[in-house]
Amino acid sequence: MVGLGWILAIIIGALAGWLAGKIMHSTHGLLMDIVLGIVGAVIGNFLLLTIFGATMGGIVGQLLVAVVGACLLIGVARMFTGRGRARTL
């Protein structure tokens, strides 16, 4: 997370992971929410820097990037684990 301190990064990560869990209908504990939010922010910032050459600044911008990145992370994990797919009889 660009320009944020460790404590603020953990708080934003926890909030982003929790929001991503609600959006993706996923249930995780607080520690996993923090990890998902922080890793999601890293992935989101990497993608933005790679595609556009810049990232979003500020707390709200980083929260948005972290939520989108965490949702992508949950979606990719579901692709590999098979969880969340429609099952046919």
**What is the 3-class SS of the chain, one letter each residue?**
CCCCCHHHHHHHHHHHHHHHHHHCCCCCCHHHHHHHHHHHHHHHHHHHHHHHCCCCCHHHHHHHHHHHHHHHHHHHHHHHHCCCCCCCC
List pLDDT tens digits, range 49-79: 888 888 777 888 888 888 998 898 888 888 8
The domain ranges of the chain are 6-77
Across 31-37, average pLDDT: 81
pLDDT at 89 over 50: no
